[in-house]
Structure 1
Amino acid sequence: MSYNYNNNNNNYDNSAYQQQQGQGYAAPPPQQQYGGYYDNNQYQPPQHQPPPPQSYQYQQQQPETYYPPPPPPADGSGYSAGDFKGAKQYNRTPKFRDLWAALLFIAHLALYIVMAALFIRSLPSSAFKNSGNLNFTKDFYSWPTMIMWLIVLLTSIVFSVIYLGVLQMFAGQMLVISFWFSVVAMIGTGIYYLAAKIWFAGGIMLIFGIFYALMWFSWRRRIPFSKLVLETVCHITRKFPSIIVVSLLFLILQAGYSAMWSLSLAGSYKYMAKYQSCSTLTDRNGRQYQSCSNVKQILAWVYMVFSFYWTSSVILNVLHTSISGTFATFYFFEGAPGGYPTKHVMLSSLKRALTNSFGSICFGSLIVAIIQTVRAVLNSLRNQGGDNFGAEILICCIDCILGCIEGLVEFFNKYAYVEIAIYGKPFMQAGKDTWTLIKDRGVDVLINDCMIGNVLQMGAFLCAAVVALVAWLYITITKPEYNNSGSYTVPIIIAAFVIAMSMFMVLLKCIDSGAATTFVCLAEDPEVMARNNPRLFALVRETYPQVVRGVHARDYY
């Protein structure tokens, strides 16, 4: 039986299967040797057979026929063959998932735009005029400062593109370099702390650096697998250059939004000053003093911080979901007789992320934004807490707990968005199904053993360091009048460092998203990898045989 795809009407030619099932879905895969999905949406226990020998060669057993992925769920929710344009069909009628979250995000963004327009209009007009002299300016928000931030943005983009190119050419070498770079960074930081007589922090960093170096003997076995995954991801990004183009567009979008947000924050000081109220109080010594407060300004700042976190997270996660949809399409359709179901794979995936799945993306981003906003408020309270040591310890403990929760949620969300990109599920269901699938397949071991994150972290740090140096050189050479005392130097360097690191991660999202999608797709249907990437499949089968033996006594749907 053959399965051909017609690009004109976006429907599979699976009439024989439709006659048996009465549905328009693609046929399920055949019975697998090590257990898996079967017909009629029923899961059969895996056949208890011994694992393949270590000398297994996939090339001798390569399947001759393309088999579509497992059947759709019984609840009849999700995308259809014509609307999904991806690997699996989850329903014949696409639906807008978590619509309430999308509407709430749009309403919140509209309110922020109104606030930003009012705040930016309150800035002095001289701030946007070019005086022709870079150092003659008394205001931080001025034309020379905008030129500096433009240089910061351009440097970040250029460095990120260069690093991505180097990563494409020297994948394996970058894995080794990134490991030892982390070792040198930790030991160097420890030596610096000791030289600054910060004994405790210096000792801790040195101990961690030494132990990390000793872990090389156990971690080096991960390099062949990580290298092959990285090479696979880089190959797909070269095959679909639109991934890089869309990433650059989202990078520009994030940079423009950040610039508007910073200008609105600066304008809020002047605009909200009219709401300040002051009262005269008397201390215990009988001396009078003025106490001023501006509750509306504080609320406006909290809302702006929340809006920044939520909007930035939505921008990044829309890009992540779009890239994941592209990688999933490659995974399931590469080498299939009918080819790809759409001519513009990345654009189709982006369309789904901005329409049917947009609410689910907003929902997941909202959870992270709330946690980040609470942490920002706690840090502000801690900085203004004065000498209240007990309160500072309590705030520090709460912030630490929230930081751990934030890390878990972000890890959880990354793989949930992959399931959303493949199926179009609601956010909560996607997260639950993905996590259960990964755990039962044993793919969590692959995720832990993959060292791609080290390469990205090293690149982000190097990019941030280079851009921070450029910002320091600019402000040192131009010597603006507002920085005569040097009070702006450190904040500018820190801001440039953070901006460059965030921009690097946006552009290199194609690598991180590609690896995450590969792992989820492998958990969904490992046999497909045997067709489109036999080298990686053979390595996974030899090193992690539990991943390709089938799901153990569980039906996810």
Structure 2
Amino acid sequence: MNDTVDANATERPLCQPSPVSSADVTLNVVALSTSSVQPLKPEPPLNGASQAPPTSTWQDWPFALLFLVHVFAVFITFCSLGLPLLSSASSTQSTNTTAATTEHDGSFTGANLKTIMGVAMLLALVAAVVAMALLKVAVAHASRVILWSLQWSIALNVLFAILCAASGLILMAILFVVFGLLAVCYFCRVRHRIPFAAANLQVATSAIKHHWSIFPVAFGLMGVQIVWVFIWAIALVGIVHKKAPPAADGLGGLGATCMTNSNCQSNLCGPATPSAAAMTCQLHTAPGDAVAYFFMLVSFYWGVTVVKNVLHVTVAGTVASWWAAGNASDVTAGAFRRATTTSFGSICLGSLLVAVLQALETLAREARQQGDWVACVAECILSCARRLLEYVNRWAFVYVGIYGFKFTHAGKSVFTLFNTRGLSAIVNDDLIGHCLGLVSLSCGLICAILGLLYTCVDKTHTAFPDASVLFAVVGLAFGIGVSMIPLGVVDSAVATIFVCFAEDPAAFARAHPELHETIVAAWREAYPDVMTAFSPTVPSTHSPA
């Protein structure tokens, strides 16, 4: 039967029998229920910037300038300290390889490294194809895949508990049993919301399918991340080499076995960890050196996070345009341009805050491994603060992508929206995250199996110790890493759909009526009280008592 009821159907008393099925009545009341919902557009900033289209003002520009200056500083370090060292190492390796060509003892060689790199690139391409295929399957069977992801979490805890018990690790086994029970409780609590998550996933992927050009942007940004990590790593090696040059005059270099401080060029001999028995030469760091290393840590996290959030903001702008304007074309280019120009400063600000916390958390983790219990407490606090800030960023950057607001104003506006609509508790649900995590893990396992199979097919180029393990690990890493790109796009789209629905569901009804019915029906089933608060003037679909 047609899902659309004529306009006269809304004039019948609710108690009068309808000639159509109750499911049709429910669906049509749902479809009409958001027509009376008033949109909650955010207040413009005090500087009077426009709301839509996104403002052309360069927001938070000092942080964009600071980021570019910092990138330039890292690049100069890469060129002045890293490249000469890399060239020297390449020359040495070339000489050693030439000398070793006459004799092959089955050990790891430069040719093996080339094989690994070639297979890794091939697995990266395979991972991209597999991830897209698995994502298509996950969307087609979203409810089932989300259910499996929750059950998989329970099964993993049970499996780890059994393995720990079999190994005699009783305390760890008990811990995994507790985690398993918590997973069961969570499953029982959220099971009724699986159709809601599936509907949001379906709508989000519909937006992405229409604007498929977001995927080339995503993979291009992944390439930028790889280049950034390479430049940063070589620059860091150059700094470390300058602070701890190769040993001379019989003195040990960094990591060399030693007995006393006089055996080390750094004049510092000690255990690498409190539990280590061997004494090795340690890196002696002056206060200025510690500042430099902290800067490099912040630099690494800042660069990686900025690239990730540029994609997040681009997806938000693209999906929001699709939400309100229907199937408009060429919106991805505009969203990407704003993310890399006028909104770039806001992205840099939010990313910098997270990067600083990540760097401090890393230092606290290193100190904890040295036996400092105070650092253990600090690491826990910093981890909680970092996750909270990442949570804020996820939603704030949606408004940055939609309206081009400053970072602080965007964060304030989006959480004001959630509080007004009564959605503050709902945004904590992450059922779709479980689904995407299962897809990513599946992609990684498939690529790991392919890497393992390669060692069985090509015995000539994999004749070195632990080749099968290495290729399996490479496949797993590249499978998970590459799959996170398209899955990250979906996650950003889901967040944008949530914000847009909270702000103006009626706009979606005008642009995409069929998908609007799907998502509103899911909202009413999962959160009937919230939907009543959305539109209190519309009668409830539930029968009166």
What band does the TM-score fall into relative to the shorter chain? 0.7 to 0.9
Alignment equivalent of 1:395, drawn from 375, 379, 382 = 375
Residue in 2 aligned with 1:378? 364
| Structure number having the greater helix percentage | 2
Contact in 2 for aligned 1:322/1:353 (Cα 8 Å): yes
CA distance in 1 between partners of 2:471 and 2:83 (Å): 21
Contact in 1 for aligned 2:43/2:413 (Cα 8 Å): no
Unaligned runs of 5+ in 2: 1-24, 253-258, 269-282, 537-545
Q: Secondary structure at the match of 1:444?
A: coil
One-letter amino acid of the counterpart of residue 453, structure 1: G
Deviations 1:178-214 (A, max 9, x none): 1111111221122222222221111221232244235
CA distance in 2 between partners of 1:244 and 1:58 (Å): 37
Residue in 2 aligned with 1:182? 153
Q: Secondary structure at the match of 2:198?
A: helix
Residue in 1 aligned with 2:28? 57
Alignment equivalent of 2:518, drawn from 519, 525, 535 = 535
Alignment equivalent of 1:359, drawn from 329, 345, 348 = 345
Alignment equivalent of 2:492, drawn from 499, 505, 513 = 513
Unaligned runs of 5+ in 1: 1-53, 85-90, 280-284, 553-557
Contact in 2 for aligned 1:190/1:203 (Cα 8 Å): yes
Could you tell me the TM-score, scaled by structure 2's length?
0.74
CA distance in 2 between partners of 1:428 and 1:64 (Å): 31
Residue in 2 aligned with 1:120? 83
Q: Which moved more, 1:179-188 or 1:442-451?
A: 442-451
Residue in 1 aligned with 2:312? 320
CA distance in 1 between partners of 2:237 and 2:119 (Å): 17
CA distance in 2 between partners of 1:120 and 1:153 (Å): 27
1:290-305 residue pairs with structure 2 within 5 A? 290=264, 291-292=267-268, 293-295=283-285, 300-305=292-297
Residue in 2 aligned with 1:35? none
CA distance in 2 between partners of 1:63 and 1:96 (Å): 35
CA distance in 2 between partners of 1:115 and 1:134 (Å): 38
The answer to whether residue 303 in structure 2 is matched with residue 311 in structure 1 is yes
Q: Which moved more, 1:529-538 or 1:67-76?
A: 67-76
Contact in 2 for aligned 1:127/1:142 (Cα 8 Å): no
The answer to whether residue 407 in structure 2 is matched with residue 424 in structure 1 is no
Residue in 1 aligned with 2:67? 105
Identity over the aligned pairs, expressed in percent?
A: 26
CA distance in 2 between partners of 1:304 and 1:496 (Å): 29
* CA 1:74–1:178: 2 relative to 1, 3 Å: closer
Q: Secondary structure at the match of 2:424?
A: helix
Residue in 2 aligned with 1:331? 323
Contact in 2 for aligned 1:226/1:452 (Cα 8 Å): yes
CA distance in 2 between partners of 1:128 and 1:302 (Å): 31
CA distance in 2 between partners of 1:306 and 1:489 (Å): 36
CA distance in 2 between partners of 1:475 and 1:265 (Å): 34
One-letter amino acid of the counterpart of residue 121, structure 1: P
Contact in 2 for aligned 1:69/1:332 (Cα 8 Å): no
Deviations 1:244-296 (A, max 9, x none): 222222223223333444455555554553399989xxxxx999654244437
Q: Which moved more, 1:308-317 or 1:247-256?
A: 247-256
CA distance in 1 between partners of 2:471 and 2:218 (Å): 26
Q: Which moved more, 1:470-479 or 1:540-549?
A: 470-479
Residue in 1 aligned with 2:12? none
Contact in 1 for aligned 2:51/2:403 (Cα 8 Å): no
Alignment equivalent of 1:461, drawn from 441, 452, 477 = 441
CA distance in 2 between partners of 1:152 and 1:300 (Å): 36
* CA 1:416–1:134: 2 relative to 1, 3 Å: farther
Contact in 1 for aligned 2:397/2:410 (Cα 8 Å): yes
CA distance in 1 between partners of 2:84 and 2:111 (Å): 16
Deviation at 1:152, TM superposition (A): 5.2
Deviation at 1:163, TM superposition (A): 2.3
Residue in 2 aligned with 1:43? none
Aligned length: 471
Contact in 2 for aligned 1:182/1:458 (Cα 8 Å): no
1:52-451 residue pairs with structure 2 within 5 A? 55=26, 57-58=28-29, 61=32, 70=41, 73=44, 75=46, 77-79=48-50, 81=52, 84=54, 94-117=56-79, 118-123=81-86, 124-126=89-91, 137=108, 143-147=114-118, 149-151=120-122, 153-213=124-184, 215-266=186-237, 269-274=240-245, 289-290=263-264, 291-292=267-268, 293-295=283-285, 300-334=292-326, 340=328, 343-383=329-369, 385=370, 388=371, 391=372, 393-449=373-429, 451=431
1:468-479 residue pairs with structure 2 within 5 A? none
Residue in 1 aligned with 2:10? none
One-letter amino acid of the counterpart of residue 177, structure 1: W
One-letter amino acid of the counterpart of residue 534, structure 1: E
Could you tell me the TM-score, scaled by structure 1's length?
0.73
* CA 1:190–1:540: 2 relative to 1, 3 Å: same
